[in-house]
Amino acid sequence: MTVKGKSLKDHLEAKKHNKAVHFLYELVEIDKKHTISEQLIRSLQHLIIKEIEDSDAGRYRQGNVLITGSSHKPPDAFKIPKLMEDLTVWIKNKSG
């Protein structure tokens, strides 16, 4: 456990989000028209969790999850690839 009762995993994920945001800033600085892709999204996720759950880093989750204390139910794992594809197509259409 860490400060405020959060798990070490949650603490490390929060720290790695900062690294991922800086990575995005660097990409935008290099290429103002950088395309959001599934590969980019998976790369960011890899940056965030590679030291926590290396075997899952950069991959879509394989199981269903619940968010403690939230009424929101994340989509079933089998739906994620299609939803991510739909998201990147939607972003491309909005920015095009």
pLDDT tens figures, 47-77: 877 777 767 778 888 999 998 888 999 999 9
Alpha carbon distance 45, 19 (integer Å)? 11
Alpha carbon distance 72, 20 (integer Å)? 24
Specify the 3-state DSSP secondary structure of 5: helix
Can you give the pTM of this predicted structure? 0.66
All domains of the chain in start order, with CATH = 3-95 (1.10.3290.10)
Residue 77: predicted pLDDT? 95
Closest CA relative to residue 15, chosen from 43, 52, 41, 40? 52
Hey, which of 30-39, 44-53, 84-93 has the most confident mean pLDDT? 84-93
